[in-house]
Structure 1
Amino acid sequence: MASITEGKMKFPLLDKVQKTNQKCPKHGVFMIKLPGKLTFCPKCQQERIAAHERKTVIDAETYWRKRKTTDVLSRDSIFDDPNLKTATFENFEATSQEAENNKNLARTIAGQYLKADTQFNTLFTGLPGRGKSHLALAMLKAVNEYAERPMSCLFVSVNELMRLVKDSFNYPDSKYTEANMVELLGTVDLLVIDDLGSESSFKRDSREASEFTQNVLFGVLNKRNRTIITTNLNSKELTAIYNPKLISRMYRGIKGHIIKFTDKTPDQRSVEF
């Protein structure tokens, strides 16, 4: 430990340094020895310290880069069905030729999203229980793993999202405030909005989505050009529920990127009793 005597800094440990006649084969300087320690080269030691410091900086940069990109999917996604979290292309069960074709199309579109400058929305539509959400999440996972540069991907269930945002009214410190969610969902590289339209189906007075819900969704989609949307509704039903300006944001670039399920594919969640 250092001490100050008469204005001069003293390092007692340095007084115990023992010089040796052995030279470092790498640097050609005399090696030194401390009591109870192995002989070492001071220059080699400096290089090890510098390398450790560089690694610490790189590890910190990697941590924060992952936190802002590839870790977003597992850390910030919002599911209303926990069982969906394991969904991949590999465990998707194609129960019809239509489902197989849709899986292949989803793979193709996911491949297009690997490039950061690709800008278009994808719409999964059709009957419930056919695997729309499964394939949408599988696309996110593929992009999260194989993108040409690290990307932030996020999956959110509309129902659960709106519930959390409304709950935040009572908890000012909640991370699920409207402002936080619009910022997060609006800026991630690739977003899945799952089960769009279901939030209005639970209303008793009308099927029209609430003004609050529409404002939140518009705030998100107005910032975006790369969004995957799943819905059980067709275009006519969506138009009846949502504001035309919101519809126009949903439909950005979806031509050629619509994946539709019909009754040709069995309901995977049906139960016989």
Structure 2
Amino acid sequence: MQELNSSLSNSFSLLKKVKTMQTFCSKHPDCHMMQLEGHAPFCPMCVRQSKYERDTAIVMQGAWQSYRRAFHSVLQCDSIFDDDDLKPATFANYAVEKGSEAETNLNKARHIAGQYLDRNYKANTIITGVPGVGKSHLAVSMVKAVNEHIKPDAACLFVSVNELMRLIKDSFSNKNSPFTEQRMVKLLGGVSLLVLDDLGSEASFQSNHQEASEWVQQVLFGILNKRNRTIITTNLTSEELTKIYNPKLLSRMYKGVVKNDGVIKFTNATDDKRKVVF
């Protein structure tokens, strides 16, 4: 209390030293300039306006940061990985040999990621090929690059299809689960760019490729029917996908793919990066 009284006393003392001048502010013609002894003259209205603008700028900066986090952090907070080793993946740490198929596909992935920076680019991308060649790594790199550079900011998401289905199924018996079918279809259907990783795995773990369950296809259709900017990775060929999914779902997967040369294909020319040599 003593410190407060002392501060107020000092403020009143300064106010007594402020003198009203005969001159007027050039910006506010009705306002007299004022001067504190030993300091340059000032306009009280200009001071108030400056403070208001400064306070507004601080508020707007905070609002902008909150707005950007609301979009920018979706990728980090809401993505669903079944392999945490993928999280650090970027274009920079995707190892390739010069002149290899992997280098060609890396360059194509970079190019397509650049196209997704244009919100008017409406096309899906299929990354296909044998397991272990880095399809998921490229997909993570693409969505990260778009998430970082798209203007204005937009929500992006990476989702393992197999893990997504497991979490949704778990929500059937867990009322507190955030992974309800309704919420996940709405979330995945609404983001600007979505990666559906390892499509087909939910139906192809068995020795013979059986048709994906009707429920799985309904969930995927609900997501893809709302979208036209999706990156899909799969170990399966188009012929194998035809045996698993119904034509209506396939048509949603292939939106804009042929027209925009949206297939990134790996063959046996690219070594399995995860194979173990005994």
The answer to whether the superposition gives a TM-score over 0.5 is: yes
Deviation digits for residues 43-74 of structure 1 (CA, Å, limit 9, x no counterpart) = 56634542353134313431342133222111
Number of the residue aligned with 2:108: 105
2:78 paired residue among 51, 54, 76: 76
Equivalent pair of 2:209/2:244 in contact (CA under 8 Å): no
1:19 paired residue among 7, 16, 34: 16
Number of the residue aligned with 1:138: 141
How much has 1:211 moved relative to structure 2?
1.6
How much has 1:26 moved relative to structure 2?
11
Cα distance in 2 for partners of 1:220, 1:130 equals 27
Equivalent pair of 1:144/1:152 in contact (CA under 8 Å): yes
Number of the residue aligned with 1:7: none
Cα distance in 2 for partners of 1:190, 1:236 equals 26
Number of the residue aligned with 2:265: 260
How much has 1:83 moved relative to structure 2?
0.8
Cα distance in 2 for partners of 1:236, 1:116 equals 31
Cα distance in 2 for partners of 1:118, 1:189 equals 11
How much has 1:105 moved relative to structure 2?
0.7
Aligned in 2, Cα 1:32/1:205: closer, same or farther, shift over 3 Å? farther
Cα distance in 2 for partners of 1:46, 1:86 equals 49
Number of the residue aligned with 2:69: 67
How much has 1:196 moved relative to structure 2?
0.3
Q: Which amino acid aligns with 1:200?
A: A
Q: Superposition RMSD on alpha carbons, in Å?
A: 2.8
TM-score of the aligned structures, taking structure 2 as reference length: 0.82
Equivalent pair of 2:91/2:106 in contact (CA under 8 Å): yes
Q: Which amino acid aligns with 2:34?
A: F
Number of the residue aligned with 2:57: 55
1:30 paired residue among 23, 27, 34: 34
How much has 1:97 moved relative to structure 2?
0.8
Deviation digits for residues 154-195 of structure 1 (CA, Å, limit 9, x no counterpart) = 100011111111122233232211111111110111110000
Counting matched residue pairs gives 255
Q: Which amino acid aligns with 1:142?
A: A
Deviation digits for residues 6-28 of structure 1 (CA, Å, limit 9, x no counterpart) = xxxxxx99x95742145799966
Greater mean alpha carbon deviation, residues 225-234 or residues 93-102: 93-102
Structure 2's unaligned 5+ residue stretches are 1-7, 26-31
Residues 1:156 and 2:153 aligned together: no
Cα distance in 2 for partners of 1:103, 1:245 equals 30
TM-score of the aligned structures, taking structure 1 as reference length: 0.83
Q: Which amino acid aligns with 1:156?
A: V
Aligned in 2, Cα 1:263/1:181: closer, same or farther, shift over 3 Å? same
- Report the identity percentage: 53
How much has 1:235 moved relative to structure 2?
0.7
Cα distance in 2 for partners of 1:237, 1:196 equals 11
Q: Which amino acid aligns with 2:147?
A: N
Number of the residue aligned with 2:185: 182
Number of the residue aligned with 2:5: none
